[in-house]
Structure 1
Amino acid sequence: MKFFPGTLNIQLDQPYHLPKNVIRLEKEEYEGTVSVSIVPCEIFGRDAFILRTDKNNTESGDHPKTIIEIACDVKLRELYNLKDNDLIEVEISDVRFI
């Protein structure tokens, strides 16, 4: 899947804690500045991923744990005409990695 540049940030009522088994993308792998944990999910019936930087996971980044960033192959905000404060459902995949 090729990601649309940018993410949809979703404000939650309570903190989201990463599961123990996540997909990892280390900064050295993509010549980036931060490493990222990736969790498969689904939004509007589309495959997507929750992205959380290490800094955000330790709450020293731009977002608290009550915000999740969703990456998808389309610009979700535009395609689904989303506005701030819209309620959205995100289904988090129950995937186990070995």
Structure 2
Amino acid sequence: MRGRVVGGLGQGQYYISRKGYRHQFIQKLGFVPFPGTLNIKLDEPFNPGPHQILIEGFREEERSFGECRCYKIKLNGLEGAIIRPDRSSYPPDLVEIISPLRLRDELRLDDGDIVELILQ
């Protein structure tokens, strides 16, 4: 898949850093994600295929957090995962990437840069 880096709303950091999610990311994805996401607008709608990893919802401090599905990828050769929260209304061609690294820095990415994603 190919796409362009786009800006986000800055809310990924809050959700990624919740203990209920982080524990499952370590266990199921094998890494602690950088507290934030990289948004990619794909050239075509995201078609995930059968390789999803379920991250279960949980309750924390009187608030519930919903399930999400992750798909392991390589982004320009670096490890990461597409994360698709069940409680969102993403356009079909927009994906959020989590990774143990801050991908913008590691790959020197700016909005509009083209990247390649390979489902693992």
TM over 0.5: yes
CA RMSD of aligned residues (A): 1.7
Higher helix share: 2
The alignment's TM-score, normalised by the length of structure 2, stands at 0.65
Which one-letter code corresponds to 2:94 in the other structure? I
Within the candidate set 68, 77, 90, 2:117 is matched to: 90
In the TM superposition, what is the alpha-carbon distance from 1:27 to its structure 2 partner? Answer: 0.9
Aligned to 2:71: 39
Instruction: Give the strand-richer structure, 1 or 2.
Output: 2
Q: 5+ unaligned residues in a row in structure 2: which ranges?
A: 1-30
CA distance in 1, matches of 2:115, 2:47: 19
1:4 matched residue in structure 2: 34
Match of 2:12 in 1: none
Give the total of aligned pairs: 87
- Give the TM-score taking structure 1 as reference length: 0.78
Identity level (%): 30
Cα offset, 1:11, TM superposition:
0.3
Corresponding residue for residue 96 of structure 1: none
Shift of 1:79: 1.9
Task: List structure 1 segments (4+ residues) > 3 angstroms apart after TM superposition.
Answer: none
